Amino acid sequence: MPIVSSPAYTPLPPFMQQDVVWAQMLQFQNSVYHFTCALTNELGPNFPALSDEVICRLLHIQPHERVLDIGGGDSCLQRANVVTDAFPDMDAHRSGRSLQSALSEDKEFVQCFAEELPFADKSFDVAYARAVFEHTIDPAAACREMMRVANRGFIETPSPLAEYLGGHPTHRWIVWVEPSAEGEPVLVFRRKPYRTAPFSYLLRGCWFTSNEFNFLWEWKYRNAIDTQLAWEGTFQFRVEEGEPEQYINYDDPAQAALAHLDTAVSSIQFGEVPAEVILPDLEYALKLQPEWALAHNALGCLYHGMQQTDKAKACFAEAVRLNPEEAAYRQNLQMNSAYGEAALLLIPQEQKGVSHTELQRCAITLRQLEQGLALLLPESIRNAHSPRMQEIMRRLNEVRASAGRLE
């Protein structure tokens, strides 16, 4: 379909603009599939950030150059000489994945925040930050520090489209690139204006079941689901704080716990997400709010699905202790069979903000949302009469209806 309004703006710095690599096709395969896609698609330049080889080629990284990966965590750039991470012992930011894969590499590891890099000015030729700046407490400081320590670099964060459709509970910022009055790229940060995901991570399970979905999201249209900025020398940025009553305050334990529980409950509800991926969100929600019956029940449902009956019953018992009036908790505790249906209580619907106004606060338009779904969902998923697609269409229609009420 033709692109009328792009959900992404990916300008190139001068040293990249004449690179013939942008006219090339990217081919990759595994034991299941083989895909081919162009490095420049309908939306413009598309950085395949999951390919270290191609990224190093695009960033013109030379063998002698020093490379810093800011917040590289468990999936750092293999070419990096130095890798930083602020939370080596806290895996909630990495969906439960261990940092050991990065620590075991032959690299220097430094624990620090992106806002305070303990390196000398221009001590690196290249700085790289993928899936990091949306987590920062002070993105302006992180931008200044990146420019201070490196001569050029690359930043990738989820795009407003990706955040609205899913994102991650630990993200604090909606991030995009827009042109300045002079035509220069400006990296914009706006506080994430919701506490529970508008589309309830409805597409999360597709990552684990559809190779075609993975190809479209992670490769072919990565510049739609990610904000991408390559820079040399300096770059412009802007931070928009927003209204406190609207955005998530991840430093508030109650709000952070709600965000993690929303992720987990939605993943259990619509299925296909592995239990080991869901478990860290539930554990962290309960670490923050240990007296939350709804979270104990959700954890019990997860253990029940894993056929870990004793653990499930312990969770259900705790939910009943904390809220003995809830019939669903008592029903779950009284189940005799490990294979019966556990009652999963959902996040109250009134806490879901699906509206045109919220869409605008997330810095995308209704047309971009519709086009994004058309581009990024394979036909096999779009045409399926599944509970997931029915719920996606219901919420999309809700956004359309709210737009009509404003006109």
Q: Report DSSP letters for 163-225, one per residue.
A: HHHT--TT--EEEEEEE-TTS-EEEEEEE---SS-TTTTTTGGGGGT-HHHHHIIIIITHHHH
Q: Which long-range contacts (CB under 8 A, 24 or more apart) does 177-185 make?
A: 177/8, 177/9, 177/10, 177/11, 177/227, 177/228, 177/229, 178/9, 179/9, 179/11, 180/236, 184/236, 185/9, 185/11, 185/229, 185/231, 185/235, 185/236
Q: What is the pLDDT of residue 274?
A: 96
The identity of residue 33, as a single letter, is Y
Q: What is the pLDDT of residue 350?
A: 59
How many whole angstroms separate alpha carbon 41 and alpha carbon 370? 18
CATH 2.60.40 for domain 14-240, yes or no, is no
Does this model's pTM top 0.85? yes
* Tens digit of each residue's pLDDT (9 = 90 or more) over 66-115: 999 999 987 899 999 999 998 876 555 444 445 555 555 578 999 999 99
How many whole angstroms separate alpha carbon 84 and alpha carbon 86? 7
- Residue 121, SS3 per DSSP: coil
How many whole angstroms separate alpha carbon 15 and alpha carbon 184? 15
pLDDT exceeds 50 at position 215? yes
- Residue 105, SS3 per DSSP: coil
How many whole angstroms separate alpha carbon 130 and alpha carbon 155? 6
How many whole angstroms separate alpha carbon 176 and alpha carbon 195? 19
Q: What is the pLDDT of residue 46?
A: 94
- Residue 251, SS3 per DSSP: coil
Least confident of 58-62, 286-290, 355-359, 369-373: 355-359
Q: What is the pLDDT of residue 356?
A: 82
Q: Report DSSP letters for 40-99, one per residue.
A: EETTEE---TT-HHHHHHHTT--TT--EEETT-TTS--TT-SEEEES-TT-GGGGTT--S
- Residue 262, SS3 per DSSP: helix
pLDDT-above-70 percentage for the chain: 90
Please, which pLDDT band fits residue 353 given cuts at 50, 70 and 90?
low
- Residue 374, both tokens: 């058309």
How many whole angstroms separate alpha carbon 290 and alpha carbon 283? 9
The stretch 187-201 carries a mean pLDDT of 92
* Tens digit of each residue's pLDDT (9 = 90 or more) over 298-341: 999 999 999 999 999 999 999 999 999 999 999 999 987 766 88
Residue 114 · residue 129 · CB < 8 Å: yes
- What are the φ/ψ torsions at residue 93 (nearest 5 degrees)? -70, -15
Question: Do the strands 185-191 and 236-240 form a parallel or antiparallel pair, or are they unpaired?
Answer: parallel
How many whole angstroms separate alpha carbon 209 and alpha carbon 79? 30
In the chain, domain spans: 14-240
Q: What is the pLDDT of residue 93?
A: 47
Q: What is the pLDDT of residue 386?
A: 87
> 54 to each of 14, 33, 77, 180, 233, how far by Cα in Å?
18, 20, 11, 29, 22
Q: What is the pLDDT of residue 407?
A: 44
Helix 253-270 crosses helix 293-305 at what angle (to 10 degrees)? 30
Q: What share of the chain is helix, strand, coil (3-state, %, to 5)?
A: 40, 15, 40
Q: What is the pLDDT of residue 100?
A: 54
The stretch 237-255 carries a mean pLDDT of 89
* Mean pLDDT taken over the chain: 89
Tell me the HSE value of 310 on the side-chain side, using a 13 A CA sphere: 0
How many whole angstroms separate alpha carbon 340 and alpha carbon 337? 5
pLDDT exceeds 90 at position 62? yes
* Tens digit of each residue's pLDDT (9 = 90 or more) over 280-308: 999 999 999 999 999 999 999 999 999 99
Q: What is the pLDDT of residue 7?
A: 54
* Tens digit of each residue's pLDDT (9 = 90 or more) over 3-45: 334 456 788 999 999 888 898 888 877 666 788 888 999 899 9
